Structure formats: structure tokens, C-alpha cells
Amino acid sequence: MPKLDFRSPRLFVDAPLAAGTGIALDRDQSNYLGNVLRLAAGDTVLVFNGRDGEWRANLAGRKRPDRAEIVSQTRPQDRLPDLHYVFAPLKHARLDYMVQKAVEMGVAALRPVTTRFTQASRVNVERMRANVIEAAEQCGILSLADVHDPEPLERYLNQRDGERLLVFCDEDAPIADPMAAFAGADRTKGADVLIGPEGGFAEEERALLLKQPHVARLALGPRILRADTAAVAALAVVQTALGDWGKPDAR
């Protein structure tokens, strides 16, 4: 895998990328590059679109950078592990944090589900997508996680692919060792990591979860975690057991 360049600014651009082409930057990007980073024509940035890998580009423009001239590819496109993060939405800043950390942990999809005790009544899907892009820009990620519209937990469970493993974060899990919960799990079918609201699942919701065909009940230690903390802990365990941590061939 090519060495990451952590010094050059990275930008997401929603346009095809190829050597010799030019990409118009939007006003916010131009303002950020020129007024915040103090970059000018001739300076170098890295650009990606989630499809064509990462490319080095030279900035162009008179008063401030408003165009990126694509020079050469620095990294080929990769793919994320088949890992979906399913969660009861949180409020405002904590949801922003959770989305950003889930992206950093390598999830391929973000799926908000509403439960009886969900705290947030509304979910700003466009804000979630903006957080996905920002996290990818900052952390050298090439593939963008899909963001789904919210849906009731029961509908999600009825429509999900039953061949996928459902990792159900449960403080009452019978196996205390989190890694042991994945004994015999098939990593080739994909996994959905589900974390409920801080009020917990209602009894009828728990019953629906336990009826799923492939369930791993995951304990997250002896302490009660907030939902955003539980997201990072659970995804770290699942990535270690089933994902691409330490497994370059999984990409």
C-alpha cells in the first residue's frame, strides 16, 4: 500500500478524476484553501471522489484557488469492509462525533434506526453526509460510507439480508469475552453492528433482535458506555475479529 501523505490538504470532489483534467472547486472549498490555509495558485493538494482513487493536483486561480489541475494518481481506489453501522440517532454534536468516528473505523454504511427510546426525533441526513466527507478528507480515507435515511427498527430488521451477521451490543450478553462472541462467524457475508439508544431496547425490540438468524451478542466490558463511546468500542472489536484490521488482503 502506498505511503500516506499526511501533510498535503485533501479535498473531496464530486467529479471524475484523470491526469490532465481540471476540476472547478466550489465556493466553500476555494474560501477554505485561500483564506484558511493560505494556499495560492501552484500549490499542491490531494483530491479524491470515492471512485477513482487519490490524485495529486495543482491549484489554479487568480484571486484565490478556484480550480484543481489533476496531475497524477497517488493511490488506487480501495474498498471498505462490508461493515454497516446501525444506530439509534443521538442529538446534535454527539451524533456528529459518532458519524465521524464510525467513518474513521472503516464502516461502509451508516443506517439510523428509530426505537421506542430513541432520543433524537429528527435526523439531518445531509449533515451526516457532510460529516462523512469531512472525516474522509482528514483521515486519508478513499471510499465514502453510504448514508441511509432513518427507518423504524422493526422495518430494518424485516428487510435486512438475513445472511449477514447481526452484532447486537448487549450488556446482558452471556459471553463476557467479546472476541469469543464471534467464534464460528462467517466473515464473508458481511456484518451489521447495532447499538441502541441510551435508554436501552424495549423488551419487544430485544425479542425481535434475538429472533434474527445470525446474531452475535457483544458485551462491551463491565462499565456502562455512552452510545457514542460504545460505537467506537464495538467497531474496534468487530474490525479486529471480522474486518480489515491487520488483514491487508481483506481490502
Distance between CA atoms of 68 and 12, rounded to whole angstroms? Answer: 11
pTM for the model stands at: 0.90
Residue keyed to cell 439480508: 161
Cell numbers for 63? 484571486
pLDDT in tens, 162-174: 999 999 888 777 7
Q: Strand, coil or helix: what is 140?
A: coil
Q: Is the pLDDT of residue 91 over 60?
A: yes
Cell numbers for 208? 425481535
Residue 246 has a pLDDT of 58
Residue keyed to cell 462467517: 186
Residue 200 has a pLDDT of 83
Confidence of residue 152 (pLDDT cuts 50, 70, 90): very high
> Once rounded to an integer, what is the mean pLDDT over residues 7-34?
94
- Domains of the chain with bracketed CATH: 10-75 (2.40.240.20), 83-242 (3.40.1280.10)
Distances (CA, A) of 93 to 63, 90, 97, 153: 35, 8, 6, 23
Confidence of residue 1 (pLDDT cuts 50, 70, 90): very low
Distance between CA atoms of 227 and 229, rounded to whole angstroms? Answer: 5
CA quadruple 214, 108, 146, 103: dihedral sign = positive
Over its C-alpha atoms, the chain yields an Rg (Å, rounded) of 20
pLDDT in tens, 41-75: 999 999 999 999 999 999 999 888 999 999 999 99
Element at 167 (helix H, strand E) = strand 165-169
Residue 11 CB contacts under 8 Å (≥ 6 apart), including other chains:
25, 29, 33, 45, 46, 47, 48, 68, 137
> In the chain, how many H helices and how many E strands?
6, 12
pLDDT in tens, 190-223: 999 999 888 788 899 999 999 998 988 888 888 8
